[in-house]
Amino acid sequence: MPRFITNHMLERLKKLAYRPDFFRDGTFTTNQGMAFYSIAVLVLTLGIVATMLPGALRTVQSMRSGDWEMQRALVTSLYPDGLVVTVKDGVIATNQPNPVVVPVPREWQMRSHCKRAYQDCRVDELPMNLVAINTDEPVSTDSFARYQAVVVIGKNDIGFQNPERGETRIFNLRDSGFRESFTADENLVASWVNRGFAFARGAVIALMAVTPVFIYLGLWIGYLIYSLLGALVVMLAAHANGHALRYGRAYLSALYLLPVPFVFSFLMSLGNYHVPFVTTLILFVIALVNFPKEPKLPEPVKIATADVTEVPKDIEVDEKRQEGDNAVQPNKQ
């Protein structure tokens, strides 16, 4: 990035975070504050979408490439040839000897998993089998270890196991009130797979299209609610520096000040740094800077002045002497 662009961005951030004259005057209105806040949230949303864009593009490319069709064909081929599964009144039956096992494809056997971005990565191994069907016995927790399967189907039960979390759930069809009857064969399962992949493709594309809108609305509403607390933080910081703010003005000031803490919080989340109350702490510091203490004026110098009502004694004597002279002059004539 060119240096002049970087300097310009830093200068803009500085002006955004440090505007004491602007907040001291307090000439901004509610409409101006909401407009600024909405634009700031929009910029933050665009930044979040920009970080998600590479992954979204890779997903779209994989859907348009041959890998998507290969995965669809792979899932379809997992169904055993000639297998017919019948469900009637909560009872499951098949046309093949028990157990019927669907192995996990080699492509799925090994997979990378990271708890945190670029950290704590390990390689997990899935169970040997994807589905195991034995309609001669009920499903229990021991069934998963015996068949080394993710899904185990029994006479009246269907069980699921989460290898990552170590969770196992077993549902009894009769106890759950399932009374529908149907028959599944290779053609029916293939049609389900085709519909599922088509729906997944459309759902993913639609979700990526509306995700920015949901992000913007979520941030706009969420941070607007947070501003109710942010106003109290601004009032506390301003009061610490000797400024008495009303709640309404503090709320508008919080709308102007919050974008900078939001950006810092977002950047820290990208690096997986989580500090409790970091947004509130940054808001408090910025409010302190933008509502500084007013400089104390020097005390006025007292100048001693004479009392004009008092007449010096020498002036009084001269006046009396002049009055006496004026009184003697007529007798001499």
Tens of pLDDT, residues 26-58: 666 777 778 888 888 888 888 888 888 888 888
Which tokens go with 219? 């941030």
Cβ contacts of 63 within 8 Å, gap of 6 or more: 201, 204, 205
Which tokens go with 64? 């348009």
pLDDT over 70 percentage in the chain? 74
Q: What is the DSSP letter of 162?
A: E
Tens of pLDDT, residues 68-77: 778 788 888 8
Contact predicate 117/134, CB 8 Å: no
Strands 182-184 and 119-125: unpaired
Cβ contacts of 141 within 8 Å, gap of 6 or more: 168, 170
Region 274-295 average pLDDT: 79
Whole-number Å distance between alpha carbons of 102 and 325: 144
Contact predicate 130/102, CB 8 Å: yes
Query: How many C-beta atoms lie closer than 10 Å to residue 35's C-beta?
Result: 13
Tens of pLDDT, residues 130-160: 899 998 888 888 888 888 888 999 888 899 9
Residue linked to tokens 């995965």: 71
Phi, psi of 151 (to 5 degrees): -120, 130
Contact predicate 260/234, CB 8 Å: no
Cβ contacts of 263 within 8 Å, gap of 6 or more: 13, 44, 47
Tens of pLDDT, residues 82-114: 889 888 888 888 888 888 888 888 767 655 455
The domain segmentation of the chain, as residue ranges, is 1-80+186-317, 83-184
Whole-number Å distance between alpha carbons of 240 and 284: 11
Bridge partner residues of 122 (DSSP) = 113
Return the pLDDT at 277. Answer: 80
User: Which of 13-22, 222-231, 258-267 is least confident?
Assistant: 13-22
Higher pLDDT, 55 or 314: 55
Give the residue from 142, 152, 138 showing the smallest Cα distance to 101.
152
- The DSSP annotation for 195-255 comes to HHHHHHHHHHHHHHHHHHHHHHHHHHHHHHHHHHHHHHHHHHHHHHTT----HHHHHHHHH
Q: In this structure, which long-range contacts are made by residues 314-317, counting pairs with CB atoms below 8 Å and at least 24 apart in sequence?
A: none
User: Which of 4-8, 44-48, 210-214, 303-307 is least confident?
Assistant: 4-8
Return the pLDDT at 144. Answer: 87
Return the pLDDT at 307. Answer: 54
Is the per-residue pLDDT at 327 higher than 80?
no
The widest CA-to-CA distance across the chain, in whole angstroms, is: 166
Whole-number Å distance between alpha carbons of 171 and 97: 23
Return the pLDDT at 235. Answer: 86
Return the pLDDT at 305. Answer: 56
Give the predicted TM-score (pTM) of the model: 0.56
Return the pLDDT at 251. Answer: 85
- The DSSP annotation for 63-117 comes to HHSHHHHHHHHHHHHTSPTT--EEEETTEEEESSPSPEEEEPPHHHHEEEEEEET
Higher pLDDT, 315 or 172: 172
